[in-house]
Amino acid sequence: MARLKEHGALVDAVSDGSIIIAPRSGKGTTHQGPLNTALDAGANDTYVIALSFPLASYMVGQELAFKANTANTGAATLNVNGLGAKTIKKVAGGITTDLATNDIRAGQYVKVMYDGTNFQMLSASGNASATSGDIPVKATGAEIITGTDDDKFATAKAIKDALITSGVKRYVALLTQTGTDAPVATVLENTLGGTVTWSRTGAGTYAVIGGSLFTANKTVAFVTNYTAGNIVSAGYNSGEEQFELITFGQNVGTQLFEPQDDLLQLMSLTIFVYP
């Protein structure tokens, strides 16, 4: 920090780019506080500030700060000393993007830097839960279910809680199948409202008979940990009113994939049934 005595005041140039004036005892001071910070006087998404010192033009690398009096509802601009509104951008993954709703909150102090075209937001987003500059935002339960915002994250517990709250039913199991036997399931979770009983209906073809546990066009399945090089198909067959699982292996002679047994070794299957 550099300190100068100027016109009866102490002028501090701080390493973060701010300039602060403090009064001196017995001396007259016409300004007190940061020179590059001001209170916003604009409306939603159009922030306007008037700094206490004359600013002839925007300069690249110039840092400013303001206290927002409203939250933003989308893309926003900042106009300083009547020099013209410039878009406020946030940086995500090295790319500048428009602000999302509530990236700036009412009463929040916002620090920006002019890059020659826009003001880049240096302070934390109003949506962030910490103080880092580029932190993913946690999705709400509704956003988890609808999947409407791929810029947000959710923990495993949050996903599970959202599914429970929304009424989504689920079945999670590890399946193993040998010979001509039906798959054996190690059930990790089952909220479908009934017992899932597997049967073998043909080579590499297995089914859960009984449509009451599943709903057409609202049943989704995910499979993982199956044998490399093979194909697994899983889904609800509304015509047969059964959930079907088919494992395909490559025929050595024809090089074509066809239904085959003995391809399930603790394969994980997750079924969601939406309300």
Residue 36, CB half-sphere, CA atoms under 13 Å: how many?
20
Q: Which residues, 6+ apart, have CB-to-CB distance to 188 below 8 Å?
A: 172, 173, 174
Strand-pairing partners, residue 152, are: 137
Low-confidence stretches of the chain (pLDDT beneath 70): 1-35, 128-137, 139, 141-151, 160, 163-164, 210-211, 226-227
Q: Which residues, 6+ apart, have CB-to-CB distance to 210 below 8 Å?
A: 194, 197, 241, 242
Q: What is the DSSP letter of 226?
A: P
**Cβ–Cβ under 8 Å, residues 77 and 86:** yes
What average pLDDT is seen over the chain? 81
The pLDDT of residue 142 is: 67
The pLDDT of residue 69 is: 92
Token pair belonging to 25:
């005892």
The pLDDT of residue 163 is: 67
> Could you identify the residue written with the tokens 């987003």?
125
The pLDDT of residue 52 is: 79
Q: What is the DSSP letter of 43?
A: B
The pLDDT of residue 53 is: 75
Token pair belonging to 209:
């008979």
Over the stretch 60-76, which tens digit does the pLDDT of each residue have?
998 999 999 999 999 99
Strand-pairing partners, residue 236, are: 243
Cα–Cα dist 49/67, whole Å = 9
